[in-house]
Structure 1
């Protein structure tokens, strides 16, 4: 049974007799504009718990109500409360970062931020990162140009988008209520970056500031990356390039399946990849 905190996280404890005292800090996808922390299908949640990991699923501020720099800062604070302080208190011995799609991107950004801030004060570094069909470079043309999979859908207008934006910045956005924001972002040139608040009004508000450089990637902890050849959202080449540039990486490619290939739990491919990820984690836990 999941123990849901009043804040931004849901904590799923490990199977008691298998407790590793190691957390998995999970970040959901949704293009940074929608999504909820409890979106990980139940079979995968059970797999982490059965393997002895404490699963910590986190929400974070969503665009366009929150700009990406604000999201990243809030996410770091959430990580401090949910992971760093329990480790410092001796309640946990370590952790992995895990994200799917936009959550995988945020996991990479968070790892970079943890490393940077560790120069000022000791911070626990991740044992590794699980990057499921994620990305790392917002300057890639794929994120500025309209995406074919979405231009084929009925057009979402700016007026529709304006009607979806909330007065109070949300940290959780159910897909049925906010998916139109993502469709709009991928239908119009530059719209996704605009929704993230990367309008170039300052050095912090640029795609370059929120893209990992080759130097950043070279300093990442061990990486487990996976993506599908049939990915209609994020080109497979992005995960492959990330894995090639990272110093200690494993890349698992699946074939002919959609972007979030693990969503369909009736397809055995998803669980096969999670078992591979857990085996990889076993070597580092």
Structure 2
């Protein structure tokens, strides 16, 4: 596992960023420089991580990578960086948002969670059934999909692996392919990795940001997580981006996005910097 460290000085709060890609593709290089500069300019150090990808790596080992990253920032990074290890936020988009939400169920919890168009319910029909949106695209057969993946562990998933993801979505087989678990016969095992089913009183303050026209992860995924957090008495907020699709935050200069990042900063100031 590798990381880029954008250090802003002694005692600075830390944002650990987890990239998107359905746990199948993607790289830490996807975090836009505009966002890194925005957080740096507002006094945050950023730790931008890679992690091992599925299906070559067992899902539980991917979770272990995320746990190890938080643990390293808390205990190992002090050799080189004197972050404020009592002020750690975990942030991610899409699958990175899912992994961020999952950190709230771990032993090493962050102080704050920020989820951009993430998902709290991997057992929902949106992921376990064929996707209407992806089924409108050219059908990817299994042989072609499997040709896009390999046999050895990787942490940098190239875009051609997206075809394997499309196959998973068209067949409603993401859980079987990535988690290697049957959602029908082993739903209880999957619930262990389902953030919405594992919210406790100690869950960190959480900010969810989602576009209403998201074609990849339904907007309702953040609504469901928000309602459950609210019911459990967790400090939480849902920022709705009207008309926005997936990865809306990469359109950084858009007025709605600028307002959303201002609200994100306010959330961090209240729940992380207090």
Q: Does 1:10 align with 2:4?
A: yes
Q: Partners in 1 of 2:188 and 2:65 — Cα distance?
A: 16
SS in structure 1 at match of 2:38: helix
**Aligned-residue CA RMSD in angstroms?**
2.4
Once the two structures are superposed, residues 68-121 of structure 1 have per-residue CA deviations (whole angstroms, 9 ceiling, x without a partner) of 11210122123222344336998222210101110011112223123xxxxxxx
Residues 1-285 of structure 1 aligned to structure 2 (within 5 Å): 7-14=1-8, 21-86=12-77, 91-93=82-84, 94-114=87-107, 123=108, 125-175=109-159, 177-189=160-172, 191-200=173-182, 206-216=189-199, 218-246=201-229, 247-283=234-270, 284-285=272-273
SS in structure 1 at match of 2:199: helix
Alpha-carbon contact 2:176-2:182 (below 8 Å) kept:
no
Aligned length: 265
Once the two structures are superposed, residues 147-186 of structure 1 have per-residue CA deviations (whole angstroms, 9 ceiling, x without a partner) of 12211111111111221111211111122x2111211111
Q: Partners in 1 of 2:16 and 2:219 — Cα distance?
A: 24
Q: Partners in 1 of 2:95 and 2:222 — Cα distance?
A: 13
Structure-1-length-normalised TM-score: 0.85
Q: Which runs of 5 or more structure 2 residues have no equivalent in the other structure?
A: none
After TM superposition, give the deviation of residue 36 of structure 1 in Å.
Answer: 0.6
Change (3 A) 1:68 1:171: same
Once the two structures are superposed, residues 34-74 of structure 1 have per-residue CA deviations (whole angstroms, 9 ceiling, x without a partner) of 11112111211110000111100111111111121121012
Change (3 A) 1:265 1:140: same
Q: Which runs of 5 or more structure 1 residues have no equivalent in the other structure?
A: 1-6, 115-122
After TM superposition, give the deviation of residue 203 of structure 1 in Å.
Answer: 6.4
